[in-house]
Amino acid sequence: MLRQQKNALALVLLSISLTFAVQAQEVTDDTLKNAANSGEEWLTYGRDYFESRFSPLNQIDTSNVSQLGVAWTFDTDSFRGLEATPLIHNGIMYATRPWSSVFAIDARTGEKLWDFDPQVDRSIGWKACCDVVNRGVALYEDKIYVGTIDGRLIALDANTGAVVWDILTVDPERPYTITGAPRIADGKVIIGNGGAELGSRGYVTAYDAETGTEAWRFWVVPGNPAEGFENPDVEFAATTWSGNWWEVGGGGNSWDSIIYDPEARLVYIGTGNGSPWSHELRSNGEGDNLYLSSIVALNVDDGRVKWHYQTTPADNWDYTAVQPLMLADIPFDGVLRKVIMQAPKNGFFYVLDRITGDLISADPYAEVTWASGIDLESGRPMETPQARYDNAISFVMPGPGGAHNWHPMSFNPVTGLIYLPTNQGSSFPYSIQQGFVHKPGTWNIGVTMGTMAGVPVRPEADYAGGTGPETRSPGALLAWDPVAREPRWVIDYPFSINGGTLTTAGNLVFQGGGDGFLRAYTADKGDLLWQIDLGVGIMAPPVTYELDGKQYLAVLVGWGGSAGLIGPSETGEYKPEGRMWTFVLDGDTNIVPVTGQPLPELTRIEFNDDPAALAHGEDIYGKRCMVCHGAGAASGGALADLRYAAPATYDIFHNIVRQGAYTGVGMPNLGAFVTEEDADAVKNWLLSLRADLMNP
């Protein structure tokens, strides 16, 4: 063939492929590698392989952000926590809602294209420590991937939502759940699991994205040595354990953070807390218990450990290092370093060399009383004397909620700042649960749960020798400078839980609040430029994308999660419907906040006001009911407020609590844990609270 003919043919083929590309461009390894460069789409959980959540879009900027109005909304037909980061590709938005269902909507109009419900058996909802939430999907080639509350990993056709493959990644006899978004690395789809509060052995698995065939598994903690070790990494970890940890499970479950560096060909995993929480009960108080509460770098080809860094050796406080990981290339002392960064629950902000695992810095981003600092030479924390509790209560900051949880942070390369949502007031009265025995089917933390309910006394001695800024407010947005190792500006919030963040080239930071407001700040100075009331507490991080030359801002709004279950909602809305909100510069500025369902009128029901009977009911409630129905039975608005139950519901209280009458809506059968007498006591105590509501 002549050269001109060849060129002409190539041109024709090119124009065909370009036309085709507009309709259905596939997400390849190269697309993912280059995702940071283009702002039109949002292709992975953290937008790009650095998970920086920085968008180069700048149509919306500091001069016009206050003009944002609604482009469209989509009601999710769900009434519990929404935590997902939506992905946007080929003009389609993909997101998830409670019970792991996936929806695809037209990103221009909000029109639903398809909906997929994995039909999770509602009776296993109790396995989810922190609500039946889901943080989103992964996208690769022509498929969407979702992990489900019952531990499956499912591949769907991105265009139709049809199931391509559906595999079980866990032992269904154990309390494993999946709430995190899968990640794509080198043709594999990678997913972890949760379950350390209930008793399980954590792991992360890579599957072939095309077929679902297992490629490798990284076990976070060793199993029973008598059964042999899966590989030398596990064998090494076992030298740091003592006792019979495998009977409860050991924990370490990696339920959120997975990040991939395609150049280094390393997958980084953030690992979870010990199971049970108490180091004494778990490992006779001996050993570091690898790879709990660690950042672990794994070879993408075989899942073997390249390096590990343990943020909390011998975890004793539910200090997960599962919080979002972020990669960046930042100059330190004039040298460009390839770093990995994390603000785990324990209150220190870590920067490590992501190739070698060397610790570069670790500084308190919140008030910390369990350690006075991190020794940069050894990389180990310097624990305070009161940090390790026994049977007597010791107050420790942060508490199990962490000074930062799963709510994603973002990094703006222009300002050099990380926008970190913190939960600063989470002090907790830790004490070892006396007579602890592992009981499958319930929480197994080895720490007295009843003490969680509003213990106001905080002895001064428990705060001695700590570090970090003194707590000024329950929650905050920190603009953290990772090079200067301190915040450049801080926004204090009078409530603890706030949403993840997004930052853009428009010099903006966006964040939703637990109070239901969506806000925009200047990225360099933290000046508040825009806030609107959406009615319902916001946890999910906003995203941005561009279609037809128009920049959109989108965020899922729905209250729940662990904080949404255990504490009253800041907005006071009861069981509000979740909603996807999207905004554009020429949108509708008449914004009507979502409202919840009205609480029923109360009628008085007789109860026994004997103080001992009430105390017994409160005690059982604290141990068996509180983590879902709220401290003091003050529901966070996502689940039933038991004080407001209809009289007919109280009539069948035993059927619900002890015989599983409501398993179909997620209420577990507690027959094995709550005696008839205990159930009566809980009901009686609830009725006393109901009477208090009627006569405040």
Catalytic residues: 318
- In the bound complex, what is the minimum distance in angstroms from residue 446's beta carbon to Ca ion? 13
Q: Cβ distance 532 to 590 under 8 Å?
A: no
Phi and psi at residue 546, to the nearest 5°: -130, 135
CA 419 to chain centre: 16
Instruction: Please state, in angstroms and as integers, the Cα–Cα distance from residue 683 to each residue in 288, 449, 482, 622, following that order.
Output: 43, 19, 51, 13
- Our CB check for Ca ion shows the closer of 318 and 680 to be 318
Q: Cβ atoms within 10 A of the Cβ of 16, count?
A: 10
Element (H, E) at 348: strand 348-353
Smallest distance, Ca ion to C-beta of residue 658, A: 28
Residue (273 or 569) nearer to Ca ion, CB? 273
Q: How far is the CB of 626 from Ca ion (least distance, A)?
A: 16
From the list 503, 415, 529, 416, the residue with the least C-alpha distance to 58 is 503
Q: Where are the alpha helices (DSSP H) in 346-501?
A: none
Distance CA 93, CA 441 (A): 37
Residues 1-30 that bind Ca ion (CB under 5 A): none
CB atoms under 10 Å from CB of 7, counted, come to 11
Site for Ca ion in 436-475 (CB under 5 A): none
What's the rounded Cα separation, in Å, for the pair 544 and 60?
A: 10
Q: Among 143-151, 315-323, 571-579, 610-618, which window interacts with Ca ion (CB under 5 A)?
A: 315-323
Closer to Ca ion by Cβ: residue 357 or 401? 401
The size of the interface with Ca ion (CB under 5 A), counted in residues, is: 2
Question: Quick one: 273 or 310, whose CB is closer to Ca ion?
Answer: 273
Please report, for residues 40, 104, 226, the alpha-carbon distance to residue 91 in angstroms, rounded to integers and kept in the order given: 9, 10, 54
| Stretch near Ca ion under the rule CB under 5 A, chosen from 25-33, 113-121, 225-233, 311-319 | 311-319
Closer residue to Ca ion, CB minimum distance, 251 or 576:
251
User: Which of 271, 273 has the CB closer to Ca ion?
Assistant: 273
Is 131 a binding residue for Ca ion by CB under 5 A? The answer is no
Considering only residues 471 through 490, tell me which ones interact with Ca ion, judged by CB under 5 A: none
475/562 Cα distance (integer angstroms): 16
Q: How many CB atoms lie within 10 A of CB 519?
A: 22
What minimum distance in Å lies between the beta carbon of 194 and Ca ion?
8
**Of 262-270, 273-281, 372-380, 664-672, which part binds Ca ion (CB under 5 A)?**
273-281
User: Which two structure tokens, joined as six digits, stand for 386?
Assistant: 């009161």
Among the residue ranges 314-322, 390-398, 420-428, 550-558, the one whose residues contact Ca ion (CB under 5 A):
314-322
Q: Closest distance between Ca ion and the C-beta of residue 322, in Å?
A: 8
Bridge-based pairing of strands 501-504 and 54-55 is parallel
Amino acid at 129: C
> Quick check: 589 and 69 in contact, CB under 8 A?
yes
Strands laid side by side in the 410-412 sheet = 410-412, 417-423, 475-481, 486-493
CB nearer to Ca ion: give 65 or 432.
432
Nearest distance, CB of residue 602 and Ca ion, angstroms: 36
Q: Which among 310-318, 369-377, 479-487, 499-507 is the span making contact with Ca ion, rule CB under 5 A? A: 310-318
In terms of CB distance, is 402 or 513 closer to Ca ion?
Answer: 402
Options 214-222, 268-276, 458-466, 655-663: segment touching Ca ion (CB under 5 A): 268-276
Show Cβ contacts of residue 647 under 8 Å, excluding neighbours closer than 6 positions: 603, 605
Token pair, residue 682, equals 């809980």
- Build a one-symbol-per-residue string for 214-253: x at contacts with Ca ion by CB under 5 A, - elsewhere: ----------------------------------------
Return the number of the residue (51 or 318) whose C-beta is nearest Ca ion.
318
Longest dimension (CA), the chain: 100
273 scored as a contact of Ca ion (CB under 5 A): yes
User: Using CA atoms, how far apart are residues 271 and 257, in angstroms rounded to an integer?
Assistant: 8
Which segment (8-16, 79-87, 305-313, 318-326) binds Ca ion by CB under 5 A? 318-326
Beta bridge partners of 270: 295
Rule CB under 5 A: say whether 426 interacts with Ca ion. no
Shortest CB 318 distance to Ca ion, Å: 5
Hey, what are 239's tokens?
A: 């030298």
Which of 70, 445 has the CB closer to Ca ion?
Answer: 445
- Beta-strand runs (E) in 523-641: 528-533, 543-547, 550-557, 579-584
Q: Of the listed pieces 28-36, 267-275, 527-535, 538-546, which binds Ca ion according to CB under 5 A?
A: 267-275
* Residue 312 contacts Ca ion per CB under 5 A: no
CB of 284 to Ca ion, least distance (A): 21
Q: Which residue is associated with the tokens 């070790």? A: 229
CA distance 82 to 578: 7
CA 534, CA 556: separation in Å to the nearest integer? 11
Can residue 678 be called a binding residue for Ca ion (CB under 5 A)?
no
Report whether 476 contacts 482 (CB < 8 A): no
The CA distance from 466 to 160, in Å, is 54
259 and 183 in contact (C-beta within 8 Å)?
yes
Q: Which phi and psi angles does 337 have, rounded to 5°?
A: -110, 140
Of 41, 288, 318, 363, the residue at the interface with Ca ion (CB under 5 A) is: 318
Give the nearer residue to Ca ion in terms of CB position, either 320 or 384: 320
Chain residues in the site for Ca ion (CB under 5 A):
273, 318
